[in-house]
Structure 1
Amino acid sequence: MSQAVMQQVIITEPGGVDKLAYESVAVPAPKADEVLVKVHAFGINRPDILQRQGLYPMPKGVTPVPGLEVAGEVVAAGSDVTKFKAGDKVCGLTNGGGYAEYCAVPESQTLSIPAGVSFAQAAAIPETFFTVWANVFQMGKAKAGETVLVHGGGSGIGTTALMLCKSLGIKTFATVGTDEKVQAIAGLTDAINYKTQDFEQVINEKTDNGGVDVILDMVGAPYLEKNLNLLRRDGRLVYIAFLGGAKAKEVKLGQIMMKRLTITGSTMRARNTAEKAEIAQGLQEHVTPLWAKGECLPMIYKTFKFDQIQDAHACMDTGEHVGKVVVEVIA
C-alpha cells in the first residue's frame, strides 16, 4: 500500500454539521477476520445524523468515527479471510469507521459487487439492505402474495423495502410527506401523502377493508393505533425507529390478541457478528442475483465529494431526499 496515513471524518462534539471535521490517522490493519477496503464511496444514513447530534451512543469498544457502509477495493485481508483477496470489488456493512479513505470490515459482513454496479450504487446497499432484509423478511416474514405498508417510503430504507417487495411479488403501500415524494416513488408503490390524506382510510378503501400483512415503521407512537387497525390477522408490525415518538399513551391490547398480531423491532448496530453474517448470507442468496440483473439497485438522490461531508449531512437534515445520499471518496 502506497500510504500509511489517511483522512477520516470525526465528530468534534455533538451538534450540527459544523461539528464534522477531518483528521489524519494511520491506515488501519485488518484483524484476522477482516478485509481492508480502499474506500471509493460510502453512504450517509439516519443513524449517522443521530450520532452527530449525540443521540445514538456507540456501544462499548466501537469506533466513534461514523459510517456504516462502504464500497471499494480490497487491499489487504486478515489471516482467516477465505472469500476475498486484494483487488476484489466489495461493499460492506461496517461496525463504524466508514467515513474514511480506508476501512476494515468483517469478512462476514462483506458482499461482492456484481459487474455493472458502480461503487456509488454499491455504497448505498449495505445499511439499508441489511436492515430491510432483517426486519421485513426475516423478522416480518413478508412473502409473495402479501401486502406491506412502509412508513417513510421516500427514505433510503423505504425505497429499498419497496424495491425488494416489488421484485419479490409483494404488494405495497407507502406513506411520505410531500406530493413530490409521492410522484418520485409512484413507479414502486401506491404512495400516500400522510399530511393531506388519512393513510388508514386510503388503505382500507383500496383493500376493501382488508388491511395489510406487514408494516415497517420508523415513525413510532403517533401511528400505533392506525397500524394496529390496519393489520390483518397474524399481521406483523416491525419497528426500526421512533422518529415521531417512542412512548404510546394507549395500546389496544384486545386487537393484538384477537388478530394474533406480532409487534417487534430491532437495531442493526446491536446485532452481533453471527447475526449480521446470517443477514449477509440471505442477501447473497436472494438479492445479489437481482443486483446482477440490474434490479433493486439503490435510488441515489445525490452524491457529494469527500471534502463535502458537511454538505452531505445538511442534505440529509432537510429530509427532502428520496433514496440515498452518497459520498464519493474516489470519483
Structure 2
Amino acid sequence: MRRVRYDSTGGPLFLEEVPVPEPGAGELLVRCAAIGVTLPVVRKVTEAAEPIALGGEIAGEVVAVGDEVTRFRGGERVTGLCFGHGYADFALLREAMTSPVPDDASAVDAVALVRSGLVALGALTAARPEPGETALVTAAASGVGHLAVQLARARGATRVVGAVSDPAKRDFVSALGADDVVTYDRDDWDARADYVLDGVGGALLTPALAALAPGGRLVAYSSGGGTIQAYDLLVGAKSVIGFQMARVARGNPGLYEQWRQELWHLFRAGRLKPAVHEEFALKDAAAAHATIESRSNAGKVVLVP
C-alpha cells in the first residue's frame, strides 16, 4: 500500500510502499476513502524535532478487525481518529475512537464534520453559551471555524461575528450565517462578544480578548500559543478557558459520543453543513499542507486516496 512520510523536520513529504498493517487487539483496519488535513499535524511536520506519523481523522470501509473488537465488522463504513499513520491507503483505528458513518453521508462529509465538528462543539460547550448572546469565532473559514460559526447559531447565538485572515473569505463566512465578518488587520473588532472561540492564538489573543464584553469568556483551543496579560482580564472581569479535545476523548467517552450524535443530528436536519475547500490526491499531500500553511482554505482540506 501507499503511505505518506517525511524524514526530517519540514519535509519534504513523499509516498512510500509499505505492507498493509494488521489490526491488533481493539483495532480496526480501514481502507481509507477520505483523510482530513489539520493545522496541528501541519505544524508538527514543520516544528517537531523528530518526524511523526501523519495521523488524524480518516473515513472508509472496515476490512478487518482485531481481537476484542465488538461493535464493528468488515464492510461497515466508519470514521475516527488515527493516532498512527493515517495518510495511507489503509490505516488502523482504535475501536474506542471510531464511529459509524450514516448511509446518507459520504466519507468526505464524515472527515469534514466529525473531528473538526467535535473540536468546534467542545470549544463552544466550554464557553457555556446562553441564548441571545453574541459569539465571535476566529479562523472562521477554517475546517473547525466554519463549523463553529454554524454551531454557535444552533446553540442560540443571536449575533455571530467571524474573524478571518483575508477579506476574500468574507463572502464564504457570511454565507455560513455570520452577521459580521472582520479581518485580523483591524485593531478594534468592536464585537462586544459574550464569548470568543479562538482557533489561532499568538498575537491574535490580544484583539480577541479586547472584543469581549465585560464578563465575557474566551475559549482558547489553538496550538498557536500566545500570552495574555492578567490586568486585561481583571479590568473587564473576563475569563480565559483552555479546551483540549483529547482530554474529553480519553476521559469522558460518553460525552464524546453524545457530541458525535448531536453533530450528525444537525447534519441531517440541514443545520450544519461541512464545507470542503479542496480534495487532494494522496500523492499531493504536500500541496494540501501548503494550502493549510498559507491559511488560504475556506473549509476543510481533504486527501482522497
Same fold at TM > 0.5: yes
Q: Which residue of 1 aligns with 2:164?
A: 176
Identity, in percent, stands at: 28
Looking at structure 1, the residues matched to 149 and 73 of structure 2 have their Cα atoms a distance apart, in angstroms, of 33
- CA shift in 2, pair 1:294/1:73, >3 Å: farther
Looking at structure 2, the residues matched to 149 and 56 of structure 1 have their Cα atoms a distance apart, in angstroms, of 31
Shift of 1:219: 3.1
**Segments ≥4 residues shifted beyond 6 Å:** none
Shift of 1:196: 5.7
Matches within 5 A, 1:26-105: 26-53=19-46, 55-56=47-48, 64-105=52-93
Per-residue displacement from partner, 1:112-135 (whole Å, max 9, x unpaired)?
212221111212223312211222
Q: Does 1:265 align with 2:262?
A: no
Q: Which residue of 1 aligns with 2:281?
A: 305
Matches within 5 A, 1:1-331: 6-16=1-11, 19-53=12-46, 55-56=47-48, 64-137=52-125, 139-170=126-157, 171-187=159-175, 188-195=177-184, 197-201=186-190, 203=191, 211-241=192-222, 243=224, 246-248=226-228, 251-253=229-231, 256-257=233-234, 259-268=236-245, 271=247, 274-275=250-251, 277-329=253-305
8 Å CA contact 1:178–1:193 kept in 2: the answer is no
SS of residue matched to 1:186? helix
Structural RMSD (CA): 2.5
2:8 aligned partner, one-letter code = E
SS of residue matched to 1:263? strand
Looking at structure 1, the residues matched to 303 and 30 of structure 2 have their Cα atoms a distance apart, in angstroms, of 15
Looking at structure 2, the residues matched to 124 and 96 of structure 1 have their Cα atoms a distance apart, in angstroms, of 19
Q: Which residue of 2 aligns with 1:207?
A: none
Q: Which residue of 2 aligns with 1:3?
A: none
8 Å CA contact 2:116–2:143 kept in 1: the answer is yes
Per-residue displacement from partner, 1:153-210 (whole Å, max 9, x unpaired)?
1111110111222233323111112222011111221343325644433x2xxxxxxx
Looking at structure 2, the residues matched to 147 and 80 of structure 1 have their Cα atoms a distance apart, in angstroms, of 46
Moved more, 167-176 or 180-189: 167-176
Looking at structure 1, the residues matched to 253 and 266 of structure 2 have their Cα atoms a distance apart, in angstroms, of 19
1:11 aligned partner, one-letter code = Y
- CA shift in 2, pair 1:27/1:242, >3 Å: closer
Mark the runs of 5 or more structure 2 residues left unpaired by the alignment: none
Looking at structure 2, the residues matched to 276 and 320 of structure 1 have their Cα atoms a distance apart, in angstroms, of 34
Moved more, 77-86 or 156-165: 77-86
Moved more, 287-296 or 99-108: 287-296
8 Å CA contact 1:109–1:280 kept in 2: the answer is no
Per-residue displacement from partner, 1:215-238 (whole Å, max 9, x unpaired)?
111333433443333323542211
SS of residue matched to 1:214? strand
Shift of 1:97: 1.8
8 Å CA contact 2:198–2:220 kept in 1: the answer is yes
8 Å CA contact 2:45–2:52 kept in 1: the answer is no
Per-residue displacement from partner, 1:12-68 (whole Å, max 9, x unpaired)?
21125xx10122222222232222211111011111211221x2468xxxx922121
Looking at structure 1, the residues matched to 223 and 256 of structure 2 have their Cα atoms a distance apart, in angstroms, of 25
Shift of 1:272: 7.3
1:52 aligned partner, one-letter code = V
Mark the runs of 5 or more structure 1 residues left unpaired by the alignment: 1-5, 204-210
| Equivalent pairs, count | 303
